[in-house]
Amino acid sequence: MKRMLIYRILKKRLGYNDREMEKFRADERNERVVSKIPSLMKKRLVLEVVASHGCNSQHQVGDRFVFDAFGNLDTRQCPDQVCVFLLGGAQNLLYAGMELFLADADPNRMTFKRTHCADVGLECGGWGKVVVELKAEEES
């Protein structure tokens, strides 16, 4: 995809006027990200449930929450209900995965790639607890 086309698409998508687009393009970090967009479009980050007990949202082991490389949740590939307290706990993990994509590194090589929901579990006065693990995948 040609860079000028990408900038036109971004300008429209972000609702920028010409002055805002100039400012956006003047930031070298944005240029680095834009140069990677074609390869990033093929990548995704997945939070997969690896443990679940007492979850009011009914999240089960094996449930997957699929995000594109830009942090957008693909609701078509997720359970019908999504617990905000689970996704909130995973925000930093997803951000780290996105940064690794931008650094041309493999998020699957992260050492600490699990997190859990905000609920502390029945043993600690809560209701339940869900643990997710981050995985990076390439779309075929």
Domain count, the chain: 2
Residue 47 pLDDT > 80, yes or no? Answer: yes
Q: Which domain holds residue 9?
A: 3-40
Task: Report the C-alpha gap between 140 and 138 in whole angstroms.
Answer: 6
Co-location of 52 and 115 in the same domain: yes
Q: pLDDT band for position 89 (50/70/90)?
A: confident
What pLDDT score does 4 carry? 86
Q: Are residues 36 and 55 in the same domain?
A: no
Same domain, 72 and 105: yes
Model pLDDT, residue 1? 62
**Judgement on whether residues 77 and 110 belong to the same structural domain of the protein:** yes
pLDDT band at 126 (very low <50, low <70, confident <90, very high): very high
pLDDT tens per residue across span 66-88: 999 999 999 999 999 999 999 98
Q: Which two tokens stand for residue 114?
A: 């699990």
Domain shared by 111 and 63, yes or no: yes
Is 128 within 8 Å of 54 (Cβ atoms)? yes
- Same-domain pairing of 107 and 118: yes
